[in-house]
Amino acid sequence: MSDHSWSNRLRSAVRARGRLCVGIDPHPALLEAWELPASADGLEVFAELCVEAFVGEVAIVKPQVAFFEAFGAAGYGVLERTVSVLRDAGTLVIADAKRGDIGTTMDAYARAWLEPSSPLSSDAVTVSPYLGFDSLGETVERAVRHDRGLFVLARTSNGEGTGLQQATTPHGVSVAQSIVDSAAACNRVDADTVGLVVGATRDHGLDLSGFTGPVLAPGLGAQGATVTDLAEIFRDCRDLLLPNSSRGVLAAGPSVTALRDAARVLRDEVEAALA
């Protein structure tokens, strides 16, 4: 495995700055709370404050693409600059884009988020397998080729996903478990390129004991999950468990010092809980 592989870069970052992943989610209500205009200019200030607060404090930052996309080309410009500044500073970036399609369309999404020459190029991207896990085949190959990662939606933190994700497949396992098993099979070939998204807000009912890749666990804070839940809910996969908090940390803004302190305190609480 290359020293610059996604897995090695992630493990190195986690050793240095902990497992917490902090979201940059410029929700309209947060823009208002920070007394910023609901415009691309407000978006830019919001992102700049987050970057200043989080660089050097946390290993991973996850911009929520939709909140940038809502401002069209200007919003994408802010996102491009945000991703570039974070990565140049040595902070890993997971683009929370949740892309999922087939064929050349999915490959275009993969080029946008994983190709080094793309202005949106990130360290990893969230993707949906719900057009069939095999629809991600070329995306996995592109990620491997460029030492990037994928986080595949398996058991999400929203209640509406339960019926689909917990449905039983013809092989007698849940749909979500089938995604875990397919991701694990990929990683036996491609060195933990594929991670999972598994919500921290409920007992997920998954067997993760054979999964060696990273697990992004949204829901910490505003959605109700606490650091004390993590060790029990994810008892089989603590090593590369990446608990995610967005609104829980961002509520401390717009003060850079307060944002930085909130991220630092939560990071240390996560590490203590998972020790």
Residues with a known catalytic role: 98
- The beta strand positions in the chain, using DSSP E, are 21-24, 60-63, 92-99, 124-127, 149-155, 194-198, 215-218, 241-245
Which residues, other chains included, contact 202 with Cβ-Cβ below 8 Å and sequence gap of 6+?
157, 233
Which residues, other chains included, contact 219 with Cβ-Cβ below 8 Å and sequence gap of 6+?
157, 199, 200, 201, 225, 244
Which residues, other chains included, contact 228 with Cβ-Cβ below 8 Å and sequence gap of 6+?
273
Q: How is residue 27 written in tokens?
A: 């929700």
Residue 123 per-residue DSSP state: S
DSSP3 helix / strand / coil % (the chain, rounded to 5):
50, 15, 35
Q: Contact at 8 Å (CB) between 26 and 249?
A: no
| Residue where the block lists tokens 């793309």 | 118
Q: Contact at 8 Å (CB) between 29 and 38?
A: no
How many CB atoms within 10 Å of residue 247? 15
Provide the β-strand partners of residue 94.
Answer: 124
Which residues, other chains included, contact 117 with Cβ-Cβ below 8 Å and sequence gap of 6+?
none
